[in-house]
Amino acid sequence: MRYRIETERVDLFDVSIVITMCLHLSADVTFELLKTAFDKACSCHEVLRSKIVIEPDGEAYYTYADEQPDADNVSEAGADKSSERKNTVSDVKTKSCPGGDMHTGGDGHIAAGHGNSFTRTELSLEELIRENERRRFRIEDGEFIRGFASSDGIVLMMHHLAGDGKSLLYFIETFMRCLNGERCESVPFRSLDLKSLPQGSALPMVYKVLTAHWNRRWNRVKRIFTFDDMDAAYTKYWKDRETKVTIKRYEKHDFGHLLEEAKNNNVSLTAYMITDMIRDSKGKNDIGLAVDGRTDGNRSMGNQATGISVEYRYDPKETFGENARKVHALMNKKLSDNRYRYFVLRFMGALDTTLKDALNLEHAGCFSSRISSSLAQLLGYGTKVRDISITNLTRADIPLKYGEYEIKDIIFIPPVVSYAKNVYGIVTAGDVMYVTRHIFED
């Protein structure tokens, strides 16, 4: 496995990048069974058996955690000439993965990655988030996911380079199947590179010219960053910061009422909820929405998310429904047009890889240059940020019942992204919906 980090490169040096989910099961399960299921589930997903390497030329790759570079196939710049993966299909043939110990491999199967862990804790969900979002994932050692058996439920915290919100749901499905004693097939890593993006999503010429101009300016002062820079960024960024999570549960009756109101107004539930969030605001609201970018409906782990944004000022002279329909129309316009739907991936993919690293380090306060500083402000890494960022995973598209085990609730908390003041995560399991808000405390 050797896959170049491309459209997802902006996540590499991000200092707030942890996706969290909390599960409530219908019955208590022993820690030993949970840990065994977690290890087996990690063994099944190719990305969780990998690590991240940064080459001397600044390029970064996913590679297997135990893989050593072949000196005969590595160029002076550090690029593997024999096995670089150009797209999204695994090099490894599909096989059953019953789990086991990564270091022994006695049954011939690769098991859980070196860095991934499952531990018992007395900390609450919010305490776990506060502690772990500031503790850097050692992705260079293969640490992409941390699991906890806590008093608040089973908590899973994942680095965005291992996948998006849907990826974590698919990991949960594998975890539950392993808990139920099922044999699970190996799942190849999938991600979105520029070549795999759909037709009609090409970057407009004006942005090609702009990104080329910024890349030329950056190349005059270009710097290659390392994991030491990442450590320094985490230390500085989180020194005086803490986040706060609020969780709202919608029972079957309340959730059904929201769905009915959205349907009566001919809008999506997301558009309805956005309108409700901004109805008391005075000015124009800038709203970002995470969007599933999967072009083939695959159920693999890997960051396959894209995003759109809409701007809207709530008009008190019109009814709530009229405002909601306008928000819905703005969303649909961008979601139905690949130029908008995949713009952020095309745009960020066109920037020099190390310039994207510099943007994150500017945001953390650990690096500054004239080009990275001005670009960071322009792209929302500074003080001018969006009002709201929303990720709605809608109804979880995984089974809730696995033999004697059943998922009762799923709570989803996205990271506090650099470009938004208020970050919301929404997911529905069965007839229960959870809405979380993740913000920095004042």
Domain membership flag for residue 234: yes
Section 345-354 average pLDDT: 96
Closest CA to 36 of 151, 162, 176, 158: 176
Q: What is the pLDDT of residues 406-430, one digit of tens each?
A: 999 999 999 998 778 899 999 999 9
Domain assignment present for 301: no
pLDDT per residue as tens digits for the range 299-323: 999 999 999 999 999 999 999 999 9
**Tally of structural domains, the chain:** 1
Q: 158, 18 in Cβ contact below 8 A? A: yes
Residue 177: domain span: 2-248+340-440
In a domain, 307, yes or no: no
- 86, part of any domain: yes
Asked if residue 358 is part of any domain, the answer here is yes
Give the mean model confidence (pLDDT) for residues 201-206.
96
- Bin 99: left if φ > 0, else alpha if -120 < ψ < 50, else beta: left
Q: Which amino acid is at 263?
A: K
Cα separation, 386 vs 404, in Å, equals 44
What is the mean predicted confidence (pLDDT) over 264-269?
Answer: 97
In a domain, 260, yes or no: no
Beta carbons within 10 angstroms of residue 264's beta carbon: 10
pLDDT band at 251 (very low <50, low <70, confident <90, very high): very high
Q: Which of 94, 421, 167, 429 has the alpha carbon at shortest distance from 438?
A: 421
**Cβ of 387: how many Cβ atoms within 10 Å?**
17
The mean per-residue pLDDT over the stretch 343-368 comes to: 95
Is residue 231 in a domain? yes
User: Rounded to whole angstroms, how far apart are CA atoms 390 and 122?
Assistant: 30
Distance CA 372, CA 2 (A): 29
Selected residue with higher pLDDT from 122 and 381: 122
- Give 382's pLDDT tier (boundaries 50, 70, 90): low
- Yes or no: say if 253 and 31 are a contact pair by the CB < 8 Å rule: no
